[in-house]
């Protein structure tokens, strides 16, 4: 078993990040597997200098170690996405050779104007404006590259926390971006390629990324690459019931640490919220993993509200 924790270095580690890191770490350690740390820094304007080092420091303070990563290396290095562009380019070339890539010079305003308005919470579906346009035509602006999603692209999978799920990607999403107009490779492509190349067997992440999974699986199947299993755990909310964000410094691991909260206090409560333990008593990461060795993990489906006090 190989799991990964893949933070974006856009701020300090908050409780939502610690929540998914613990879930991924325990799943691997309880089954004798390996843990990979991968830094997802594909979007340069959002990267905060020093953030990756601070996240790694907070993970270490919590007792969540890793076997492979930017600082320790490993057989699938580099473990920082900004250093892996050649692999993403090779994947796009492979898809292009299959006739599945085309340039698109539509702006977001163009797409919004052409597409029907999505329902609340849904993404805007690309209407296929450039799908059949001549390849050598003049472009209004630097184009993005899109995947020509096959019309029969129905993707099903069994999620470890959510059960059986499936999506008609062509109908619900349409042709999605592989490389942005500014040359940055899209999250869907980079994550799929990295998980396959690093031989990740189980992707544990928050449920807000569940909608991404069919697209990533579609890419892996088109490329003939290894498919991981998926576990989508609930979200962590703040004490007022709002989704945590990195702009809420009060809920970061570092802020709790500076306030005198111990790693065992944090991990004990997170573990109970995830369904890893029956009690929220303080516990070390190693203790939580040992408990999980002898039980079938029943992941909770309920969003977890961070406590207002840690006493």
Cβ neighbours for 261, distance < 8 A, ≥ 6 positions apart: 310
Could you please report the per-residue DSSP string of 244-305? P-TT-GGGBHHHHHHTT--HHHHHHHHHHHHTS-S--S---HHHHHHHHHTS------S-EE
Catalytic residue among 84, 232, 246, 277: 246
Buried b (16+ CB within 10 A) or exposed e, 109-130: eebeeebeeeeeeeeebbbbbb
Contact present, 118 and 70 (Cβ < 8 Å): no
Q: Is residue 246 annotated as part of the catalytic site, yes or no?
A: yes
Contact present, 309 and 261 (Cβ < 8 Å): no
H/E segment holding residue 213: helix 213-223
Contact present, 200 and 229 (Cβ < 8 Å): no
Catalytic residues: 246
């Amino acid at each position: 078993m190989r799991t990964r924790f893949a933070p974006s270095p856009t701020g300090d580690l908050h409780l939502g990040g610690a929540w998914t890191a613990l879930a991924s770490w325990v799943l691997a350690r309880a089954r004798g597997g390996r843990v990979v740390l991968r830094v997802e820094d594909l979007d340069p304007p959002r990267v905060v200098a020093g953030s990756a080092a601070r996240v790694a420091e907070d993970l270490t303070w919590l007792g969540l170690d890793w076997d492979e990563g930017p600082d320790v290396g490993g057989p699938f290095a580099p473990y920082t996405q900004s250093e892996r562009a050649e692999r993403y380019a090779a994947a796009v070339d492979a898809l292009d050779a299959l006739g599945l890539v085309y340039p698109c010079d539509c702006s977001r305003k163009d797409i919004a104007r052409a597409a029907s308005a999505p329902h609340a919470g849904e993404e805007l579906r690309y209407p296929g404006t450039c799908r059949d346009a001549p390849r050598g035509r003049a472009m209004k602006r630097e184009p993005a590259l899109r995947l020509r999603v096959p019309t029969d692209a129905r993707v099903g999978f069994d999620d470890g926390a959510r059960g059986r799920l499936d999506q008609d990607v062509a109908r619900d999403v349409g042709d999605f971006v592989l490389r942005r107009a500014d040359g940055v490779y899209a999250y869907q492509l980079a994550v799929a390629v990295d998980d396959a190349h690093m031989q990740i067997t189980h992707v544990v992440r928050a449920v807000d990324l569940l909608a991404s999974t069919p697209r990533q699986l579609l890419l892996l199947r088109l490329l003939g690459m290894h498919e991981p299993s998926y576990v989508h755990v609930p979200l962590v909310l703040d004490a007022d019931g709002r989704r945590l964000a990195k702009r809420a410094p009060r809920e970061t691991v570092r802020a709790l640490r500076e306030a005198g909260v111990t790693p065992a206090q944090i991990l004990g409560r997170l573990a109970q919220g995830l369904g890893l333990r029956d009690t929220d008593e303080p516990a070390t990461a190693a203790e939580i993993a040992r408990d999980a060795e002898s039980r079938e993990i029943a992941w909770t489906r309920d969003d977890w509200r961070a406590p207002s006090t840690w006493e």
